[in-house]
Amino acid sequence: MLSGGAGYRRWRSAVTAKPATTLRLHIDWTRCDGRGLCSELLPQLLSRDEWGYPLVRDRSREPSVPTRMVKHARRAVARCPRLALTLVEGT
């Protein structure tokens, strides 16, 4: 029988833990005006075209944000002057 000790808490948290979700970077093209700040903050995910609009490096519609870059992606979302970036959960 399991008691309420530390071992039980570890087992319970392992069983009830949510699976890791993938974050994706969504660009709202109706808001973006090509200032290029996002590509400066996320050069691993985005580059710029000749007008300053972001280009997704892997050519996907919504690039996956690696775990190591989530902090940088959140910063880019917060600093976008046109509020054109959003982090969305996806597969």
Angle value at C-alpha 80, between 58 and 72, nearest 5 degrees:
55
Question: Residue 13: which pLDDT band, with cuts at 50, 70 and 90?
Answer: very low
For residues 71 and 7, give the distance between their C-alpha atoms in angstroms, rounded to a whole number: 32
| Model-wide pTM > 0.85 | no
Which fold does the domain 20-90 belong to in CATH? Alpha-Beta Plaits (3.30.70)
Q: Is 27 within 8 Å of 83 (Cβ atoms)? A: no
The phi and psi torsions of 12 (rounded to 5 degrees) equal -65, -40
62/9 Cα distance (integer angstroms): 38
In this prediction, residue 4 carries a pLDDT of 55
Average pLDDT of the segment spanning 18-47? 93
Residue 24, H or E segment: strand 22-27
3-state secondary structure of 9: helix
Q: Which of 86, 44, 34, 40 is nearest to 66 (CA)?
A: 44
